[in-house]
């Protein structure tokens, strides 16, 4: 399946990406003493990894085209500017921060994004398939429905992340003739769909390997414009449809034993665990 | 009274077992709210699938059998599910937490002005007022959440609910399609991963391989075949293109809870453990004695998987013979 060049109508492609500030997924997350939230002391933050994949894909599409604009949107506290600057250091052109005192639920996030889409009129919205804090995996689909657009979730590609195509930084999403062709990772295999633009796409791990921010990129990002808005400016009520009441720790698995050899393992599995 | 609508998952003209686990979750909800349980099967040529679902304890099964909804495209399926939910006055719409429902159900939630909880693993609250337990931060935390809207949409983890048992046969009736409009999404093709091994989420035993396999899955597959097990993989393995995405176990892959999970050359990243820590017995073989997988394994064996996995396979074969 060959890559198709952009049609005349998409020459100046405009892509909107979401970037959420989340707890670094490689550190241990613990519930606080009263179960009201997690322990925040010593926590590092990062852009949601799936959102970095979204930004990378948007940049590749723009680069393949030669021109266009990549706008990143973040919904959260003032600190979210850090994650947005990271996306701009990767190459995104400008940012929009929708300032909220606290996290909003997926539905409120989708309604905020829908308002931003109305203002910005992008050809394509690319979001991470899920944020690694709430793990709901809903925002892209909710947004598509609010907009009445088509969607393609869990976007990946046929080629692996170690393939020559990936090394050449080719986009996995193929935009042409007013459509985007998306290879979706679903249970049972890979599905290919064509979605009319404008469309919403959510990213799976296997879409690309995001680039690092270069030093000149970081310097440039400092001067890129960031517009600040509030949900009230957009006329969005952020009262949650899904409220977190309480957090608790999952049951711990008790540490097992190290067996010396295969014979002992087989004996234990048969007579102690009784699973074979 | 709060009725519950269960949206079935099916593949290759047969009902997926995950649907029966979701049906059991629906029955648990209905038992608390005093409502009825309705099933819904959407697709083309799915009459037998609807009958199968009807034999497992639903009060009635609706079937939208039409070539126009053959493929599970979120735009069209969400309209069908919305119509079914309104017809049976459902206050709960429930489906197994697979890629299909994750794609479609958020759109249904918008259409029903509902809040949605994903990957529900259990219920809390009092009487007819249910709260939902669901993992966050890759399962490092369990949240108890409340859905504040009158209608509630849920995906449920099949591993956390027993399978609904066969019972009296419920009536099946056809659901006329709503106006589907002009869909903006077109199905092109499905490249299915075909395997003679058991399905990962339904297998009694799973043998998984990680980066330690260096891309050579033959010892993993040979051991799996000796045990009649399914094969699983970590993210690193799938990213490298060594194994297909359908085999990934973890935060964004599949959640499994077999009786026996054998991890070969898997370090035990939080994201992988999130998908398998519900397994009854975990065995880990890894040459790094400090690998985090040993902290959750019931039985650990330190050493080279290329030597130990074939040895284990032979020992099992000999014991059988």
Residues of chain B contacting residue A111, judged by C-beta atoms under 8 Å apart: none
Residue A261 located in a structural domain: yes
Residue A55 located in a structural domain: yes
Q: Is the pLDDT of residue A131 over 90?
A: yes
Q: Looking at B148-229, which runs of residues are DSSP E strands? A: 152-156, 172-174, 185-192, 205-209
- Identify the pLDDT of residue B321: 67
- Identify the pLDDT of residue B152: 98
Nearest-CA residue of chain A relative to B12? A188
- Identify the pLDDT of residue A1: 29
| DSSP strand pairing (A21-23 vs A45-47) | antiparallel
Tell me how many degrees the CA angle A106-B256-B52 measures, rounded to the nearest 5.
90
Distance, CA of A200 to CA of A144 (rounded, Å): 6
Query: Distances in Å between the alpha carbon of A81 and those of A89, A94, B260?
Result: 12, 11, 46
Residue A180 located in a structural domain: yes
Q: Helices H, strands E: what count in chain B?
A: 8, 18
Whole-number CA gyration radius for chain B: 21
| B262-294 tens-digit pLDDT | 999 999 999 999 999 999 999 999 999 999 999
Query: Is A135's CB within 8 Å of B251's CB?
Result: yes
Q: Is the pLDDT of residue B126 over 80?
A: yes
With cut-offs at 50, 70 and 90, classify the pLDDT of residue B319: confident
B288–chain A Cβ distance below 8 A for any pair: no
The total of structural domains in chain A comes to: 1
Phi and psi for B245 in degrees, rounded to 5? -60, -30
| A167-201 tens-digit pLDDT | 999 999 999 999 999 999 999 999 999 999 999 99
Residue A53 located in a structural domain: yes
For the record, the structure tokens of B20 come out as: 């029966």
Instruction: Tally C-beta pairs within 8 A across A and B.
Output: 262
Residues of chain B contacting residue A239, judged by C-beta atoms under 8 Å apart: 148
Interface probe with B: pick from A30, A138, A162, A266, most Cβ of B within 10 Å: A138
With cut-offs at 50, 70 and 90, classify the pLDDT of residue B252: confident
CATH of the domain at A199: 3.40.50.620
Average pLDDT score, chain B: 96
- Decide if A99 contacts A228 (C-beta within 8 A): yes
B319–chain A Cβ distance below 8 A for any pair: yes
Tell me how many degrees the CA angle A221-A224-A227 measures, rounded to the nearest 5.
130
- Identify the pLDDT of residue B281: 98
Single out the residue of B171, B172, B168, B174 nearest to residue B55, CA to CA. Answer: B168
Q: Is the pLDDT of residue B144 over 90?
A: yes
| A43-91 tens-digit pLDDT | 999 999 999 999 999 999 999 999 999 999 999 999 999 999 999 999 9
| B223-249 tens-digit pLDDT | 999 999 999 999 999 999 999 999 999
Give me the residue from B148, B205, B239 closest to A206, CB to CB: B239
- Identify the pLDDT of residue A19: 98
Distance, CA of B38 to CA of B27 (rounded, Å): 10
| A229-275 tens-digit pLDDT | 999 999 999 999 999 999 999 998 888 999 999 999 999 999 999 99
Percent of chain B scored above 90 by pLDDT? 96
With cut-offs at 50, 70 and 90, classify the pLDDT of residue B58: very high
Average pLDDT over residues B36-41: 98
For the record, the structure tokens of A83 come out as: 């994650």
Average pLDDT over residues B146-151: 98
B238–chain A Cβ distance below 8 A for any pair: yes
pTM: 0.96
Q: Which domain holds residue A51?
A: 13-272
Residue A1 located in a structural domain: no
Average pLDDT over residues B55-77: 97
CA distance A69 to chain B (A): 24
Nearest-CA residue of chain A relative to B204? A275
- Decide if A16 contacts A54 (C-beta within 8 A): no
Residue A7 located in a structural domain: no
Residue A8 located in a structural domain: no
Residue A88 located in a structural domain: yes
Q: Is the pLDDT of residue A12 over 90?
A: no
Distance, CA of B220 to CA of B76 (rounded, Å): 40
| B85-115 tens-digit pLDDT | 999 999 999 999 999 999 999 999 999 999 9
Average pLDDT score, chain A: 95
ipTM of the complex: 0.96
Distance, CA of B273 to CA of B249 (rounded, Å): 8
Interface probe with A: pick from B252, B267, B307, B319, most Cβ of A within 10 Å: B252
- Identify the pLDDT of residue A106: 98
With cut-offs at 50, 70 and 90, classify the pLDDT of residue A6: very low
């Amino acid at each position: 399946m060959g890559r198709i060049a952009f049609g005349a109508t998409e020459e100046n492609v405009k892509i909107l990406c979401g970037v959420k500030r989340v707890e670094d997924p490689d550190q241990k997350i613990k519930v606080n003493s009263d179960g009201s939230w997690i322990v925040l002391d010593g926590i590092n933050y990062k852009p949601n990894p799936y959102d970095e994949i979204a930004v990378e894909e948007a940049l590749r599409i723009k680069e393949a085209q030669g021109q266009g604009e990549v706008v990143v949107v973040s919904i959260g506290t003032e600190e979210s500017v850090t994650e947005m600057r990271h996306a701009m250091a990767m190459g995104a052109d400008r940012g929009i921060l929708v300032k909220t005192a606290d996290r909003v639920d997926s539905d409120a996030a989708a309604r905020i994004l829908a308002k931003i889409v109305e203002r910005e009129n992008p050809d394509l919205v690319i979001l991470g398939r899920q944020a690694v804090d709430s793990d709901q995996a809903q925002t892209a689909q909710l947004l598509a429905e609010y907009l009445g657009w088509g969607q393609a979730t869990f976007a990946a590609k046929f080629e692996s992340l170690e393939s020559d195509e990936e090394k050449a930084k080719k986009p996995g999403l193929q935009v042409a003739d007013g459509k985007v062709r998306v290879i979706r990772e679903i249970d049972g295999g890979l599905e290919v769909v064509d979605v009319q633009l404008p469309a919403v796409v959510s990213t799976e791990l296997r879409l690309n390997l995001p680039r690092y921010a270069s030093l000149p990129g970081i310097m440039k990002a400092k001067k890129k414009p960031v517009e600040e808005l509030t949900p009230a400016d957009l006329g969005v009520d952020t009262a949650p449809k899904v409220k977190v009441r309480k957090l608790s720790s999952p049951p711990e698995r008790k540490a097992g034993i190290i067996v010396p050899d295969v014979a002992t393992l087989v004996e234990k599995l048969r007579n102690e665990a009784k699973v074979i | 009274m709060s009725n519950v609508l269960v949206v079935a998952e099916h593949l290759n003209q047969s009902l997926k077992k995950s649907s029966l686990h979701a049906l059991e979750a629906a029955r648990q909800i209905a038992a608390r709210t005093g409502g009825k349980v309705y099933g819904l099967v959407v697709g083309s040529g799915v009459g037998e699938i609807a009958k199968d679902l009807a034999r497992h304890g639903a009060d009635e099964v609706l079937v939208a059998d039409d070539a126009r909804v053959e493929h599970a495209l979120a735009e069209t399926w969400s309209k069908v599910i919305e119509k079914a939910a309104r017809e049976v006055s459902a206050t709960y719409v429930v489906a197994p937490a697979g890629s299909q429902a994750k794609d479609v159900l958020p759109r249904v939630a918008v259409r029903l002005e509902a809040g949605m909880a994903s990957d529900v693993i259990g219920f809390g609250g009092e009487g007819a007022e249910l709260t939902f337990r669901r993992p966050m931060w890759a399962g490092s935390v369990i949240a108890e959440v409340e859905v504040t809207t009158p209608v509630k949409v849920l995906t449920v983890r099949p591993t956390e609910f027993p399978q609904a048992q066969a019972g009296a046969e419920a009536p099946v009736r056809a659901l006329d399609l709503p106006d589907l409009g002009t869909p903006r999404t077109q199905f092109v093709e499905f490249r299915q991963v075909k395997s003679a091994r058991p399905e990962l989420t339904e297998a009694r035993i799973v043998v998984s391989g990680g980066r330690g396999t260096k891309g050579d899955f033959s010892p993993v597959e040979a051991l799996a075949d000796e045990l009649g097990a399914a094969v699983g993989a970590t993210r690193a393995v799938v990213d490298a293109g060594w194994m297909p995405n359908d085999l990934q176990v973890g935060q964004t892959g599949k959640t499994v809870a077999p009786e026996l999970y054998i991890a070969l050359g898997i370090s035990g990243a939080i994201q992988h453990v999130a998908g398998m820590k519900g397994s009854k017995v975990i065995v880990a073989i890894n040459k790094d004695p400090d690998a985090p997988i040993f902290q959750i394994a019931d039985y650990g064996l330190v050493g080279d998987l290329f030597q130990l996995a074939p040895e284990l396979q032979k020992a099992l074969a000999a014991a059988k013979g």
